[in-house]
Structure 1
Amino acid sequence: MSSAFEVRGGHRLKGEIVPQGAKNEALQIISAVLLTPEKVTISNIPDILDVNLLIELLGDIGVAINRLTRDTCEFTAANIDMAYLQSPEFKKKSGRLRGSVMIAGPLLARYGRAYIPKPGGDKIGRRRLDTHIIGFEKLGVNFVYDTDDNFFRLEAGDGGLKGTYMLLDEPSVTGTANIIMAAVMAKGVTTIYNAACEPYIQQLCKMLNSMGAKISGVGSNLISIEGVTSLTGCSHSMLPDMIEIGSFIGLAAMTQSEITIRNAGVEHLGIIPEKFRQLGIQLELQGNDIYIPAQDSYEIQTFLDGSILTVYDHPWPGFTPDLLSIVLVVATQAKGSVMIHQKMFESRLFFVDKLIDMGAQIVLCDPHRAVVIGLGRQHLLRGITMSSPDIRAGVALLIAALSAEGKSTIQNIEQIDRGYQYIDERLRKLGADIKRV
């Protein structure tokens, strides 16, 4: 029996909340422990399903894991069982987990072979592995797709991985991370142009450099990696989750609440605070905290020539696609209109029918674009029963429910648990009426 959230909306929240560690950073940082036989200590790990499954998978492969606290863990990858990677158990487990593809780069670097399942995970449109596979091929990896098993077998050619120049067809975050991890011990220099430069990638490079890698160009889209023969252990602390921070800013505005987000990693948020300000939301950056005052109403800015604001996703330092569903929900109660343009994924907007059922005024133009006509709080959303199609839509619907009149039931909340730790408990501390049933 799967669980659901029962939410009674219309309460103003108040208080402080601390964001969890970044989910998107965790999956690559934790995979990187496979690059060394020495001990690696990682802190600020989010206690969420996707991350815990990856840690469990590493344990199955032979990594010694010592969980010091819920958010700090020691990993020692001295004795890896490569035979396990061909077992039916590994195929079943790794096929359930999006992040399992991230262990391929480190395994290729250290052992010259790896196995990856066809990707599972979110229903937000096609998520291609092409960037990963093509990048590996350029480093000298041969790959065979096993149609019986739905599995990719990857093997380094004679003489191991060799550094090279590559231009990525898209600045994929996971693709860039995987290629960097494969290249750190390749012979010679690897240059990656059109690399993703998200804070997650910057953090991975910082960690690898502290282990003895030689990576330059960190933070730009041109990364150069001089191969080394081995890497040592290290300690690494993960950034706060910028998607959670954006979600809390949206939540405060929608519920007219006064909320302080503590330890928000403000310098790593890029354009995110500015995008919420364009929706008319007041927020103050106070040191490393973000203070959002209670606001009765917020008005969407227009462009300087008076035309309607468009918010679209773009590779870093542009706006992250993971927050577009939040912006869309928050716009439903703003004054004014906004066009949301989701360029990267073609089914991320397919939750707007639920918002329309709640009374929101949204025109879905096509799979990538929606126009939101803000109700300016003249008509509150009404509670309904709905299901969550993906992680980010799940939280967007949760925010809608917390601001709506009456009771809402959100089903399929495993999708929310995949990305947000103890979200119901943390919201209850702010005064939300939410229970898990």
Structure 2
Amino acid sequence: MGTFKIEGGVQLKGEITPQGAKNEALQVLCTVLLTPEKVTITNIPDIIDVNKLITLLKNLGVKIEKLGHGAYTFQADEVNLAYLESEAFKEEGKSLRGSIMIVGPLLARFGKGYIPKPGGDKIGRRRLDTHFEGFINLGAKFRYNKEDYFYGVEADRLKGTYMLLDEASVTGTANIIMAAVLAEGKTTIYNAACEPYLQQLCKMLNSMGAKITGVGSNLVEIEGVEKLGGCEHRILPDMIEIGSWIGLAAMTRSEITIKNVSWDNLGIIPSTFRKLGITLERRGDDIYIPAHADGYEIQNYIDGSILTIADAPWPGFTPDLLSIVLVVATQARGSVLIHQKMFESRLFFVDRLIDMGAKIILCDPHRATVIGHDFKSQLKGIMMSSPDIRAGISLVIAALSAKGVSTIQNIDQIDRGYERIDERLRALGAKITRES
């Protein structure tokens, strides 16, 4: 396990380009299993979680060729289904939550899909019911081995149907759509997730020959087809990384330009940061953030009551950025209530911020009140550990703004979602080193 050593209190400056979107990559990489033809995907982020999925696909027999940085071709014309029942797969599959999304494509094309209970961030319960209930609605038989925590679905041929999802699960919606594109007849999914990365998945599938309508809404219709072909697809920039860089600029009072952000796919992310008093300027497809020499002030509601920032399914505010908003608020003028509705363990990292001197009241597992310092009192560098990807980057931002030296352990968690983060931060002038 590596560590980051960070000397804080340094003002940064320059340009940074966001990586390809992790959450989109985990979805679209699984589509290659739906066709025997060649699929080319570009702007794939070079991060642990995505590389694990690429390795898993390779072990399944997918032919993979690297064309350059972030660019690959995939061809699944000789898939080794026997690997799904091997001990190696049981170990490999459970280390990555995104591995659940190979089940839909495998079930649709080969009539069976298996997966061990997947891992991922320790941010509370993340149930898989939506995925498997969707497959069962399409006609699959479900089985679960409690001793091995091993899930399986099988079907001779999936059949389209109407379904109302019990939650707008992003990965659940993606998995069901990938299963339904090769099903017989029409599938209607109501209460479907509709975020930009899911829209990208649907656009990619349509370019392969699928017939999906309602893309971008919560009512998606899929007319099943006999087969899909190859395609070329480019992954969007990562909106979570973009939000992270906005928070970094504000906390370090730095002048930073974030390049090629795909503004039209950011939803309410820019306006949410503006509510914290952060100045953002649109310059073409870039975000320019000036140095906030006088700090930034949190807006209250029009009746004067305290601002609440809460997560919600898209087009609401993404839960992956709540930890960034929380750490940014520690140096704002004013107070804010952070309400993490979707996961019950994601706010527990605030004890590290409190140790650094932040004024935070953890009301319960879902809510925290932050009273900003207005830069009149700096956070102080400490030794801490990264509990998950998003909390990890929040601690990095806190350390970069803090007085003194901070050490962050368990940085593999950060590397799971952020590509070469220490190198890219050093290019902005940050004093951050990686140690083994």
- The letter for the 1-side match of 2:54 is I
Alignment match, 1:15: 14
Q: Corresponding residue for 1:298? A: 296
CA distance in 1, matches of 2:32, 2:213: 20
Give the superposition deviation at 1:287: 1.1
Q: Any idea what SS the aligned residue of 1:190 has?
A: strand
Partner of 1:222: 219
Shift of 1:53: 0.5
Whether 1:265 aligns to 2:262 is yes
Residue 180 (1) aligns with residue 209 (2)? no
* Letter in structure 2 aligned against 1:137: I
Q: Tell me how far apart the structure 1 counterparts of residues 362 and 108 of structure 2 sit (CA, whole Å).
A: 45
Rounded Cα–Cα distance in structure 2 between residues aligned with 1:303 and 1:153: 49
> 2:323 matched to which residue of 1?
325
Residue 148 of structure 1, CA deviation = 2.9
Cα distance in 1 for residues equivalent to 2:377 and 2:428: 24
TM-score (structure 2 length as normaliser): 0.99
The alignment status of 1:166 with 2:163, answered yes or no, reads: yes
Residues 371-409 of structure 1: CA distance to partner in whole angstroms, max 9, x if unpaired? Answer: 000010010000000001100000000000000000000
Code of the aligned partner of 2:292: Q
Distance in 2, Cα, partners of 1:61 & 1:119: 17
Unpaired stretches in structure 1, ≥5 consecutive residues: none
Partner of 1:153: 152
Match of 2:430 among 397, 407, 432: 432
Q: CA deviation at 1:188?
A: 0.3
Equivalent residue for 2:305? 307
Would you say 1:117 and 2:103 are equivalent positions? no
Q: CA deviation at 1:150?
A: 1.4
Give CA deviations for 1:316-354 in whole Å, capped at 9, x if unaligned. Answer: 000000000000000000000000000000000000000
Tell me which of 271, 276, 283 is aligned to 2:273.
Answer: 276
Residue aligning to 2:236: 239
Give the C-alpha shift of residue 149 in structure 1.
1.9
Q: Deviations over 1:16-55 (max 9, x none)?
A: 0000000000001000110000000000000000000000
TM-score normalised by the chain length of structure 1: 0.99
Counterpart mapping for 1:34-45 below 5 A: 34-45=33-44
Task: State the match for 1:371 in structure 2.
Answer: 369
Structure 1 counterpart of 2:162, one-letter code: Y
2:249 is aligned to 252
- Partners of 1:146 and 1:307 lie apart in 2 by 51
Report the AA paired with residue 78 of structure 1: D
**Counterparts of 1:280 and 1:195 in 2: how far apart (Å)?**
33
- Cα distance in 2 for partners of 1:243, 1:225 equals 29
Q: Spell out, residue by residue over 1:237-293, the C-alpha distance to the aligned partner (whole angstroms, 9 max, x if none).
A: 000000000000000000000000001111100000000000000010111100000
3-state secondary structure, aligned to 1:67: strand
Give, in whole Å, the separation in 2 of the partners of 1:124 and 1:69. Answer: 34
The 4+ residue runs of structure 1 with deviation greater than 4 A are: none
Q: CA deviation at 1:116?
A: 1.1
Distance 2:382 2:101 in 1: 38
State the partner residue of 2:71: 72
Partner of 2:358: 360
2:399 alignment partner in structure 1: 401
Structure 1 position 190 matched with structure 2 position 209:
no
- Which residue is equivalent to 1:285? 282
**Rounded Cα–Cα distance in structure 1 between residues aligned with 2:345 and 2:8:** 27
Aligned to 2:92: 93
How far is the alpha carbon of 1:143 from its aligned partner?
1.0
Matched, 1:337 2:335: yes
| Cα separation, 1, equivalents of 2:147 and 2:353 | 42
Take 2:132 and 2:78, find their aligned partners in 1: how far apart are those partners?
Answer: 26
Q: Does 1:206 align with 2:206?
A: no
Q: Deviations over 1:396-431 (max 9, x none)?
A: 000000000000000000000000000000000000
Q: Distance in 2 between matches of 1:344 and 1:320?
A: 10
For 1:151, the aligned partner's letter is F
User: Which structure 2 segments of 5+ residues have no match?
Assistant: none
